[in-house]
Chain A
Amino acid sequence: MADELINLTIDGAPVSVPKGTLVIEAAKQAGILVPHYCYHPGLPVAGVCRMCLVEIEKAPKLQIACATQVAEGMVVRTQSAPAKQGRMGVLELLLINHPLDCPICDQAGECELQDFTFQEGRPATRYSPDYPKRFNPVEDFGPDVLYVPNRCILCTRCVRFMEDIAKEPVLNVSERGDRAYIGIHPDARLDHPWAGNVVDLCPVGSLLSKDFLHKARAWELDKTASICTGCSQGCSITLDTRDNVVVRVRPRPNLEVNRFFICDHGRMNYRWMNRGDRIEAPLVQRDGELHATDWDEACERVATLLRGAGGRAVALVSPKASTEALFLARELFAGGGGRGGGLEWIGAFQVVMGEEAPLVGVPNLALRAERAPNAKGAELLGYSRDYAAALAAAETAAIVLVLDEPDLVVRTAGTLIYAGTVLPEGARAAAVVLPIANVAEEDGTFVNRDGRAQRYFQAKPAPGMARPAWWVLSELAAAAGRGERVATAAEAFERLTAAADGLRGLVPA
């Protein structure tokens, strides 16, 4: 009976949760976070840190909330004196061998050991300064993971991730007693394609990302909800920016898509968002050269070109472009309630392929071979995968629009309009170059391989006069008399779900 609800009381608040729920999860529903280290909703229960000790009426001793299932009529007290005393004892013991090197630790500011110690730890240690602390040298675990054993609290989250989720058990607890540390198989490296998750899972600063090492303090970071552009899986991520530079990508929990994890490919797939060689102003062709101008002139120029055009229009788009931009690009040529103006429209995108790398312990989660976050969205909007055919068609087309394909070589007898973040050699022949924002600089929506529309948000400003592609395309449509302006990505999305067959009724998650 999955639906059967169990009623219990946690700190005086009545809670009803499904049978089999753990007390720690039931407490979350009552708005209570029971301090914990080894427990993680994405991992099997270990029950070893003993941090989540709570008092349960009628139980002879304190129980751990992470391994105790709810029972009808249970009365849980997380804030009673014995429970707090028990947890304070754990915190003191966790700190006796901890180096307390927070000033040079990457985890400081987002460290659960710091947080819970502030919350309910002792103000001072009773561990005499004469006693030496456990010391082990820093170890190089893998391509992006360092292990700092001195900070380790042996919660075993990393061990369980590699064993039960990645199914590549290369980590263990070595030695016993207070000599224990996380060991790695002597012939193995922590180089599994999903290994980077151990860094996020580590509640303290013991497992560190080499990529992020000493790059920023946690409190300097701005965090923005986003969607990974690494492949068509569409994992939820957080973009961490410092002074408008993306410095780190972390997984954002999404039980439907990626649970708590992202792959290392996606984790490292952010440096291009910070490229410095960006187009910062609209450019128009004059006297055989591109000249910077303002948006009004650029839009007017495109409008003039469109007004006079007849024949075939080809749109070569990136599958990293937002669904909104792809829709408006299509509308510019083909839509507008029959105001297409005699243009025959062809749209196509090309997909870069790579190795598929599944995370075995999570169903339907993998780094997909298709490295295109919005291939599904493009497909639903009628863009073709037959890129070669579209390139051939472009040669004789009247108008070719290229949307953010920097490596593109396109030959056309007609007019080339290039909208992109950077200016490739091949775009120097364009009649108009339109600077657009990248994924970190705009709001937008991707449709993942399972047809799930997911919105991402702007994490940093776009350089110069660059604007989101959906904004640019709606301005062009308005200037050419082919559609209404949209003010936001959300408005653009509303319009596309009303107009585009394949996407009708889609709600971004």
Chain B
Amino acid sequence: MGYPQKPHARETVVLSKYFGDADARTYKGWIKRGGYEMLAQALTMEPAKIIDIVKESGLRGRGGAGFPTGLKWSFMPKEKKKPHYLCVNADESEPGTFKDREIMRWTPHALLEGSAIAAHAIQAEVVYIYIRGEFTEPWTYMERALAEATAAKVFGGIKIYLHRGAGAYICGEETALMNSIEGKRGNPRIKPPFPAAAGVFGMPTTINNVETLAAVPHILKQGAAWYKGLSLSSPKSTGTKLFSVCGHVQRPGNYEVTMGFPLKDLLYELCGGMQAGRTLKACIPGGSSVPILSREETEGCLLDYEGVVEKGSMLGSGGVIVFDDSTDMVYQIMRLARFYAHESCAQCTQCREGTAWTTKILERILAGQGKMADLDLLLDLSENMTGKTICVLSDSCAAPVVSGIKKFRSEFEEYIAGRRRAVMVA
């Protein structure tokens, strides 16, 4: 359901079934809707069996990287020698993404149930749910739901804690998130060691996204084959995915569709297309960190992990940002770069200095003082910022710059040549 929109006939409503239904937030209401049945069943199952089912379902991480979830769980030591931890990444900070927020707002118990099942599967007794600091409303509902469910003793021996972030984008990076939980500065860690070997507090840890875990009870309930069958194109991308559509469409919101759904249909049918008299110019399909798609690429794009890569971008977190023909791409790209410059943790040289320099160049181009050489400089700088740092924040800053210059070069050149009115940016 594309809450706050009415559900569209072409949506496949699984995770978002109760979006907008306030009764589902309560423990009683959730039980009435069949909640916690799968958890009770899972707690009697062999952990390895659950991992097998999730592997079989083809579920992949919904946080952005798309790593197969069952495989990730199987990396945890089979023989438990140290405490195991599950961290839930609810630090949804990717610009353009707001799906986890809705899951926590409307179905907090779905996340708690999925988390507890996952914890059982990886033999963890402690779960940390790291919630973005700005998410005040989801925090309130999560806190309430956790108190109710804990009082009802549904989690067996599993203890779930909520941990509130303090507003840093980088804390959504899994190793920075673990540092933050430990009370340290949220800096990404160098890998190896990988979290499954030494994660939070140095113990074997798995980190999963909210949407990933919310899907787990459904997979247990309806079976791996059912989930695997939810695929319209590539068999490597299965299930449903929430897409947060924002920008210049008539009905922005969250839409749950089956993997492989055409992006064109999502934008033009489900979201009602552009505003009257406007046409599509560009689209960022997976949150601000992925390359920008042109109109042609957007309209030919299938929404699954492979389909978006084929068009030169990534599915990412499913945050679809839509730009119509009134958009100033240079300004939008500058805004993105400025965001990354602000959020860089300052560890790696390329990111700390590169994001800020990129922003300065873009600001100057907008101010009408750019040079043609700046475009090559931006591309070269982006090359230096790609694939050379601890985490991918630096790459994320470079991606829209590179794709933006490649696809909308004439807009940059108009500013540089003085054919566009300069924009002074504060």
Contact = CB atoms under 8 A, between A and B. Distances in A.
B partners with A = yes
Interface of A: 45-51, 53, 60-62, 64, 67, 85-86, 89-90, 92-94, 96-97, 126-128, 130-131, 153-154, 156, 172-173, 175-180
Q: Which of A60, A97, A154, A177 is the most central at the interface, judged by chain B CB atoms within 10 Å of its CB?
A: A177
B349 A177 contact: no
Interface in B162-181: 168, 170
A48 B185 contact: no
A172 B186 CA distance: 13
A179 B353 CA distance: 9
Interface string B368-398: 0100000001000101100111100000000
| Closest 4 A/B residue pairs (Cβ) | A89-B384, A180-B346, A178-B356, A93-B353
Interface stretch (B53-61, B294-302, B315-323, B337-345): B337-345
B262 interface: no
Contacts of A86: 384, 388
Nearest to A180: B346
Contacts of A61: 387-388
B387 A89 contact: no
A173 B343 CA distance: 14
A63 to B, nearest CB: 10
Contacts of A51: 349
Interface in B309-353: 341-350, 352-353
B341 A178 contact: yes
Contacts of B348: 48-50
23 contacts: A46-B347, A48-B390, A51-B349, A62-B388, A64-B190, A67-B190, A85-B384, A93-B353, A93-B354, A93-B357, A93-B384, A94-B349, A96-B353, A96-B357, A154-B346, A172-B185, A173-B347, A176-B170, A176-B346, A177-B343, A177-B344, A177-B346, A178-B346
Contacts of A156: 347
B345 A176 contact: yes
B355 interface: yes
Given A53-B388, A86-B384, A96-B353, 4 more contacts: A48-B348, A154-B352, A177-B345, A178-B341
B346 to A, nearest CB: 4
Contacts of B357: 93, 96, 127, 131
Given A61-B388, A67-B190, A177-B356, A90 B347 contact: no
Contacts of B349: 48-51, 90, 93-94, 153-154
Interface of B: 168, 170, 185, 190, 341-350, 352-357, 360, 364, 369, 377, 381, 383-384, 387-390
The winner among B345, B348, B354 for most chain A CB atoms within 10 A is B348
A409 to B, nearest CB: 58
B387 A62 contact: yes
A5 to B, nearest CB: 22
A284 B210 CA distance: 92
B353 A94 contact: yes
B185 to A, nearest CB: 7
B273 to A, nearest CB: 38
A130 B370 CA distance: 11
Contacts of B381: 89
Nearest to B340: A177
A445 B347 CA distance: 45
Interface-centre pick from B168, B347, B377 (highest chain A CB count, 10 A): B347
A97 B22 CA distance: 53
B390 to A, nearest CB: 6
Contacts of A179: 346
Contacts of B168: 176
A130 B355 contact: no
A50 B369 CA distance: 32
A176 B388 contact: no
A5 B390 CA distance: 29
Nearest to A132: B360
A295 to B, nearest CB: 61
A177 B342 contact: yes
Contact of A177 (B190, B355, B364): B355
Nearest to B383: A89
B387 A173 contact: no
A96 B384 CA distance: 14
Nearest to A51: B349
A347 B356 CA distance: 69
B399 to A, nearest CB: 15
A434 to B, nearest CB: 59
A45 B190 contact: yes
Contacts of B384: 85-86, 89-90, 92-93
Nearest to B384: A89
B344 A176 contact: yes
A175 B389 contact: no
Contact of B185 (A47, A85, A89, A173): A173
